[in-house]
Amino acid sequence: MSEFEQTVRQICSAFKNDRTRMMDIVQAVQARFGCVSGEALDVIASAVNTTRVEVQSTVSFYSFLTAQPKGRIVIRLCSDPVDEMAGMEPVARAFEAELGIRMGETTPDGAITLEWTPCIGMSDQAPAALINDVVVTYLSTDKAREIVAELRRSGDPRKLVHRLGDGHNAHPLVRSMVHNNVRRKGPVVLADLPPGAALRKALAMSPVEVIRDIKTARLRGRGGAGFPTGMKWEFTRQAEGDRKFVICNADEGEPGTFKDRVILTEYADLLFEGMAIAGYAIGAREGILYLRGEYAYLRPLLEHVLQVRRDAGLLGRDICGKRGVEFDIRIQLGAGAYVCGEETSLISSCEGLRGDPKNRPPFPAQKGYLGCPTSVNNVETFCCVARILDRGPGWFAEIGSKGSPGTKLFSVSGDCAAPGVYEYPFGVPLADLLRDVGAEDVQAVQVGGPSGQMVGPESFHRRLEYDDLATGGSIVVFNTSRDLVHVVARYLEFFVDESCGYCTPCRVGNVLMLRKIAEILAGRGAPSDVAYLTGLAECVKFTSRCGLGQTSPNPVLSLIRNFPTALEGRIRPPAGEFLPTFDVRRALADTERLVGRPSVIYAP
Amino acid sequence: MSETLSFTIDGVAIEARPGQTILQAADDAGIYIPRLCAHKDLVPFGACRVCTVKVNGRPQAACTMPAAKGMVVENNTPELLEHRRRLIEMLFVEGNHYCMFCEKSGNCELQALAYRFGITAPRFPYLFPDRDVDASHPDVLIDRNRCILCARCVRASRDLDRKGVFQFVGRGARKKLWINAETELAGTNAAAEDRAVEVCPVGCLLKKRQGYATPIGRRLYDRRPIGSDIESRRPTPTT
Amino acid sequence: MPDKPRVATCSLAGCFGCHMSILDIDERILQLIELVEFDKSPIDDLKEFTGRCAVGLVEGGCCNEENVRVLQEFRKHCDVLVSVGECAICGGIPAMRNNIPLKECLDEAYLNGPTVHNPRRVYPNDPALPLVLDRVYPCHEVVKIDYHIQGCPPPADAIWQTLVALLNHRPVDLPYEVLKYD
């Protein structure tokens, strides 16, 4: 057996040759060898008793995993519109010039790869990039040059961090330049709680009473969909099965969202407390924190917090001394796939598979992770849970608005003076938030990220709550200098890149919408395009299999609905016989160059 | 006699056996719901979305949705037909479907659906993707230009042939059918007799040396639209 | 009969198979002569339009600038424009080059092909030769097309029934057996 094979087999056996731990196995192999090569696929397949193509299928799905070697250092520039607005384009050009390569390439010495990646959760400190696991923020062309020089000198991205961020960003286990940018604290999430305080209160009640409290508080899921948490827990509790799971969805990938980053950095105890309470309530002994790959830099801190809680008897066996109550949490690291924020995709990923969503029914509450009843909740939801148990459901339900009790964290970025995280009671008018963040000359606000809706000033009086402007928390502000059609094109590019490709409408429809928007941007729009786009968007929305495709047409639909002049202003009635999309000069340009003479019929 | 669940499709009362999907119950009752990825011998998959129906007002894939008592299902409505037509057109422009020389022409389910819907040209631009052909295997051809990513072969090879020859790699628009070998189908244990080859609804997986065997006019969908066999099961109403 | 509707036909990047099919209507060809007058068409060898046409039948897609020019003329002179056959509708066999880079196509055709003799290694560039387009375009991606008759070639019945319907201002509604893509 070669040394390579031995090492790969050791990695597999460290995960008990369990193919459902494929994500961990391939990530470990890649960490060791730089990629998951064809040879590695064969060894892993044989060790965990599956087929090579199954392993390959998983590896090929995630953008942070690779079958071909990349540079020892991978620079991933954030391609989000907010980063572009903050000046990412010249930064990207500076990186290219300094490295002597184009985006997507690796330096000839194999040292550094340069590529784009979608929103890395740093929109409040854009332009930002990931360099291996290290986050670099507030980039400029000068910084790009310094970064390349330092990487060439030391080969160590950690050396790029000179000034540490605030709070736990400066923790020895984190040592990051990231700033929390907490701008407004509220009583529910961004507040202290002595570890164990809420958990002890929960354990003094019966599980059914805990669920009753969550229902009394009328807590709804904070990820955006707003499903009543107590009901989800009740379904999971009542579902048949000895083994049940609690999963925390910390895969916040919605462009413009970063509030979970702050919770994970500063309030991990609150989150884990909420998970433990959930475990007790539904009868689960195992929990998983699905951490997006972009937040890998927080993993050592989170593992540390988990260990401290274990040592304090807040996790593990006989929690808080209560006999028979058992709950522990493992961290599952993602690898760059937005769709894994969809709860059934997230479960697929936890099971070591491609991040394809699953067919529903059955719902995760009946058959989730490994076929067991599973409750998947948002990071912020678990924080609310802990607070509700500590302060009481009545206290919680008093905050916020009637249909949306409690507070909500908003990740605010884009054209505003004070981007960052804001905790408001639900029901706050959008106008109040815009005033507080120092947004002036506002043309449009993307509420809930690209999968939400883009609204204009006529909607600024509306309230941020489930029954009006619902949002998972992403608020991106665009001032009047921004080209909204361009923004929509960027968001569509994002969905095209992130579609899992399982179902027809999402896989093909998003490509077709992007193509049409790009043509309109290039001045080749036709009056019929609005109807064309509407029909396409409605088909994708209606027939897609999961939330990604059901919401990916929203940028197009809200542009048409709320900013009709943005598209119409770019569309001219066709002149002559040709369709606006057909440009005969463009169709001939390559041949003219190759043959070395201009067209006789369609001379320039 | 086992208990049945009653529900309606377009107002027609249907009896389903417990555990049946809407699609299966509709098939038994002689109501055709168009589909591509669904196949009677394979586990439901829900990828093509052509079988999308409205269940109590909400869209659902009929092939994965279990029938339930009292459901109100809409199938043959202008809205649904329009969505399905768009999905079929999407599949046509996504790949390179040259029917004029395809061995499967006349027996192809994608083509047959387009016939049934009377599609004369897609309203979307052809994407002309660059896809490859794998002719390495002595008896089986893969022409990925024609693949619609329905996963019938993936499921059949895994569940019926017990071989696991096929799986998808990549995601989104770059997702493609791949095989359990380094580069070529010849490196797998695939065989011409595999159900995986037979269940391909299009001309992506083909037995070699069998093309154009049936004369034009006598092929599966030359004279009767796809779904006619199911619709012929429908009892004629007694007056 | 003075006011017979005029019909024009052309074959762009096609194989003339669709035109063969137009002529394959057996004895109805006598009816056709009664029904219409041919303007620009390979059938009567008229090279340019002589007047306004009721119907233009277009075979083949656009692979070069001459195809584009002819299609443009057809759109200009015809009230109703019909794409006839797979090549006009989806590019057909010529469109198989669409996923090959243009330079590779030209190199293979003019420099490296097994039967090519081109010692000076230049692409033919006589101004009389139309320049090829970057890819083959279906007709409805170049100009507005009003109807499509599918088939490779379309059955004579499909062409006949469509033409008669259009000339009589009746909706085109072909029976199931006639709509075929091959």
Domain shared by A454 and A509, yes or no: no
Question: How far apart (Å, rounded) are the C-alpha atoms in residues B142 and B131?
Answer: 11
A141 occurs within a structural domain: yes
Q: Which pLDDT does position B31 carry in this prediction?
A: 97
Determine contact: A497 vs chain B, CB below 8 A.
Answer: yes
A376 occurs within a structural domain: yes
Which phi and psi (to 5°) does residue C48 adopt? -125, 160
Domain ranges of chain C: 6-97+133-178
Q: Encode burial over A567-593: b for 16+ CB neighbours within 10 A, e otherwise.
A: beebbeebeebbbbbbebeebbbbbbe
Q: Within 10 A of A445 (CB to CB), how many other CB atoms are there?
A: 27
Question: How far apart (Å, rounded) are the C-alpha atoms in residues A220 and A236?
Answer: 16
Q: Are A248 and A382 in contact (CB under 8 A)?
A: yes
Which of A357, A378, A397 corresponds to the end of one domain? A397
Q: How far is CA A439 from CA A414, A459, A469, C28, in A?
A: 9, 15, 18, 74
Residue C176: its chain B contacts at CB < 8 A?
A: 115, 223-225
Going residue by residue through chain C, which has 182 residues, state the pLDDT in tens, using 9 for 90 and above. Answer: 458 999 999 999 999 999 999 999 889 989 988 999 999 999 889 999 999 999 999 999 999 999 999 999 999 999 999 999 999 999 999 999 999 999 999 999 999 999 999 999 999 989 899 999 999 999 999 999 999 999 999 999 999 999 999 999 999 999 999 999 99
Tokens read off for B112: 């047959």
Mean pLDDT computed over every residue of chain B = 96
User: What is the Cα A285 distance to its own chain's centre?
Assistant: 27
Domain shared by A288 and A434, yes or no: no
Q: Encode burial over A455-490: b for 16+ CB neighbours within 10 A, e otherwise.
A: bbeebbeebbbbebbbbbbbbbbbeeebebbebbbb
The residue of chain B with its CA nearest to that of C158 is B120
Of A577, A579, A595, the CB nearest to C131: A595
The residue of chain A with its CA nearest to that of B66 is A361
**Predicted confidence (pLDDT) per residue in A393-432, tens digit:** 999 999 999 999 999 999 999 999 999 999 999 999 999 9
The reply to whether residue B52 touches residue A542, judged by beta carbons under 8 angstroms, is yes
Question: How far apart (Å, rounded) are the C-alpha atoms in residues A394 and A242?
Answer: 33
Which of A373, A397, A421 corresponds to the end of one domain? A397
The reply to whether residue B87 touches residue A505, judged by beta carbons under 8 angstroms, is yes
A169 occurs within a structural domain: no
CA distance A524 to chain C (A): 12
Domain shared by A218 and A142, yes or no: no
Q: Are A315 and A309 in contact (CB under 8 A)?
A: yes
Residue B96: its chain C contacts at CB < 8 A?
A: 96, 99
The residue of chain A with its CA nearest to that of C125 is A595
Of B94, B180, B182, the CB nearest to A38: B182
Question: How far apart (Å, rounded) are the C-alpha atoms in residues A64 and A55?
Answer: 15
Question: How far apart (Å, rounded) are the C-alpha atoms in residues A394 and A387?
Answer: 11
Q: Answer positive or negative: Cα dihedral of A211, A213, A216, A221.
A: negative
Is the model more confident about B238 or about B154? B154
CATH class of B84-207: alpha beta
Q: Within 10 A of B81 (CB to CB), how many other CB atoms are there?
A: 13
DSSP 8-state symbol, A337: -
Split into its structural domains, chain A has a count of 5
Domain shared by A107 and A47, yes or no: no
Q: Are A491 and A476 in contact (CB under 8 A)?
A: no
| CATH number of this structure's domain C6-97+133-178, picked from the four choices 3.40.190.10, 3.40.50.700, 1.25.40.10, 3.30.70.260 | 3.40.50.700
- Which of C15, C87, C90 to mutate: most B Cβ within 10 Å? C90
The reply to whether residue C103 touches residue A594, judged by beta carbons under 8 angstroms, is yes
Q: Are A471 and A462 in contact (CB under 8 A)?
A: no
DSSP 8-state symbol, A106: B
Residue A52: its chain B contacts at CB < 8 A?
A: 180-181
Determine contact: A353 vs chain B, CB below 8 A.
Answer: no
Tokens read off for A328: 């522990």
The reply to whether residue B126 touches residue C91, judged by beta carbons under 8 angstroms, is yes
Question: How far apart (Å, rounded) are the C-alpha atoms in residues A277 and A314?
Answer: 10
Q: Which amino acid is at A226?
A: G
Q: Within 10 A of C167 (CB to CB), how many other CB atoms are there?
A: 16
A561 occurs within a structural domain: yes
Per-residue pLDDT, averaged over B143-151, amounts to: 98
Determine contact: A596 vs chain C, CB below 8 A.
Answer: yes
Which phi and psi (to 5°) does residue A326 adopt? -130, 135
What ipTM was assigned to the predicted interfaces of this complex? 0.97
Torsion of Cα atoms, A581 then A587 then A590 then A595, to 10°: -170
A587 occurs within a structural domain: no
Domain ranges of chain B: 5-76, 84-207
- Cβ-Cβ contacts under 8 Å for A587 (sequence gap 6 or more): C68, C133, C134, C135, C137
Which phi and psi (to 5°) does residue A483 adopt? -90, 105
The residue of chain A with its CA nearest to that of B176 is A501
The residue of chain A with its CA nearest to that of B177 is A57
Given a cut of 80, is residue A529 above it in pLDDT?
yes
CATH number of B5-76: 3.10.20.740
Question: How far apart (Å, rounded) are the C-alpha atoms in residues C130 and C107?
Answer: 17
CA distance C30 to chain A (A): 34
Residue C76: its chain A contacts at CB < 8 A?
A: 577
Domain span including residue A458: 407-479
Question: How far apart (Å, rounded) are the C-alpha atoms in residues C56 and C54?
Answer: 7
Question: How far apart (Å, rounded) are the C-alpha atoms in residues C122 and C120?
Answer: 6
A392 occurs within a structural domain: yes
A597 occurs within a structural domain: no
- Percent above pLDDT 70 for chain A: 100
Residue B127: its chain C contacts at CB < 8 A?
A: none
A588 occurs within a structural domain: no
Using alpha carbons, select from B108, B229, B130 the residue that is nearest to residue C182. Answer: B108
DSSP 8-state symbol, A370: G
Domain shared by A497 and A463, yes or no: no
Question: How far apart (Å, rounded) are the C-alpha atoms in residues B107 and B168?
Answer: 25
The reply to whether residue B175 touches residue A498, judged by beta carbons under 8 angstroms, is no
Given a cut of 60, is residue A435 above it in pLDDT?
yes
